[in-house]
């Protein structure tokens, strides 16, 4: 196996596009700095709503295949070469929104055996030996079943990998400080008349918004704002970008954040807010 760089970051996401929205600037920054960045995506987002009319015919497996192509383009924009689908393409399919009949599909990620799926992810952890893992909180940021399941699988995989010899020192959950969200939406309200979007979302529509004091880590990715925007544009079935804002299929504008925020969920909680996910971690043995 090729020797990996001293700093290794693993991100676990539910669908293609989640990584670019939540962590695009972080991924681009660490990739540019020479860290090994690995993305594991749990489904292909086969039940996502398609925005462009010319792609509206895509659904199911055809949409999943198209979104895999979008993911490849997004990773190219971020400079990330190591990206994988949990268990391989098609192992787990999109579960749809919470409460829909789609949740009962035996092949969907929501119905996956957590230990089995976590075992697949643990193999990646043991291969890469990341010092840092990033995923969602226990509500998946906003209650989507695949996001909740990604959290469960990621946290269990960390336990399984530790039993087999690699203890991930730091696990982070995606967050947005409430003050940042409120200030960003105030700017959006002022800018909305000049945007190609008619309506704005509200703070409550943003996943992972928490009280400022819960946030332990702030990653300045402003130097990689263009890379994040390009990665989000690559996910054209799901996102329309008009920097520094974007919309999803609900057509409600929200801010495109290039400073990204995290809560340290596993590891020694810092006394002051960190500016580096690898803070406190020495070189790998």
Higher pLDDT, 90 or 17: 17
189 among annotated binding-site residues: no
As a whole number of angstroms, the distance between CA 99 and CA 145 comes to 9
pLDDT tens-digit profile of 220-242?
999 999 999 999 999 999 999 99
* Predicted TM-score of the model (pTM): 0.96
What dihedral do alpha carbons 142, 22, 70, 153 form, nearest 10°? -60
Which is it for strands 170-177 and 259-266: parallel, antiparallel or unpaired?
Answer: antiparallel
**Residue pair 113/179 in contact by the 8 Å Cβ criterion:** no
Average pLDDT over residues 193-210: 97
- Mean residue pLDDT of the chain comes to 96
Is residue 94's pLDDT more than 90?
yes
Task: List, for residues 126-158, the tens digit of each pLDDT value.
Answer: 999 999 999 999 999 999 999 999 999 999 999
As a whole-number percent, the residues of the chain with pLDDT over 90 amount to 97
pLDDT surpasses 70 at 1 = no
> How sure is the predictor about 3, in pLDDT bands with cuts at 50, 70 and 90?
confident
Question: Is residue 212 part of an annotated ligand binding site?
Answer: no
The C-alpha atoms of residue 224 and residue 26 are separated, in whole angstroms, by 8
Q: What is the pLDDT of residue 284?
A: 41
DSSP summary character for residue 45: -
Whether the predicted pLDDT of 102 surpasses 50: yes
User: Residue 15 annotated as binding?
Assistant: yes
User: Which long-range CB contacts under 8 A does 198-203 form with residues at least 24 apart?
Assistant: 198/251, 199/251, 199/252, 199/253, 200/252, 200/253, 200/254, 201/250, 201/252, 201/253, 201/254, 203/178
Instruction: Give the mean model confidence (pLDDT) for residues 210-218.
Output: 98
Quote the tokens at residue 115.
């230990």
- CATH number for the domain running over 8-266: 3.40.50.10320
Q: Which helix (H) or strand (E) holds 64?
A: helix 60-78
pLDDT in tens, 44-93: 999 999 999 999 999 999 999 999 999 999 999 999 999 999 999 989 99
């Amino acid at each position: 196996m090729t020797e990996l760089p001293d700093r290794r970051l693993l991100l676990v996401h539910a669908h293609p596009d989640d990584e670019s929205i939540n962590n695009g600037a972080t991924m681009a920054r660490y990739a540019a700095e020479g860290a090994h960045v690995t993305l594991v995506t749990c489904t292909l987002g086969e039940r996502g709503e398609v925005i462009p009319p010319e792609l509206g015919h895509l659904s199911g497996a055809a949409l999943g295949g198209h979104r895999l192509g979008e993911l490849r383009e997004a990773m190219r924009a971020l400079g990330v070469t190591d990206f994988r689908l949990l268990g391989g393409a098609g192992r787990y399919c999109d579960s749809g929104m919470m409460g829909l009949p789609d949740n009962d599909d035996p092949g969907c990620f929501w119905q996956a055996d957590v230990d089995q799926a976590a075992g697949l992810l643990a193999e990646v952890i043991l291969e890469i030996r990341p010092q840092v893992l990033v995923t969602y909180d226990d509500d998946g940021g906003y209650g989507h079943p695949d996001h909740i399941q990604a959290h469960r699988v990621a946290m269990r995989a960390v336990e399984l990998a530790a039993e087999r010899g690699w203890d991930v020192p730091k696990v982070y959950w995606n967050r947005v400080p409430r003050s940042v969200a409120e200030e960003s939406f105030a700017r959006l309200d002022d800018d909305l008349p000049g945007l190609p979007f008619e309506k704005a979302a509200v703070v409550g529509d943003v996943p992972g918004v928490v009280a400022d004091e819960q946030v332990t880590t702030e990653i300045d990715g402003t130097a990689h704002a263009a890379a994040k925007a390009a990665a989000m544009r690559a996910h054209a079935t799901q996102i329309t970008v008009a920097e520094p804002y974007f919309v999803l299929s609900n057509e409600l504008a929200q801010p495109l954040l290039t400073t990204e925020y995290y809560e340290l969920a596993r590891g020694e909680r810092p006394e002051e807010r960190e500016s580096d996910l690898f803070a406190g971690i020495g070189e790998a043995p």
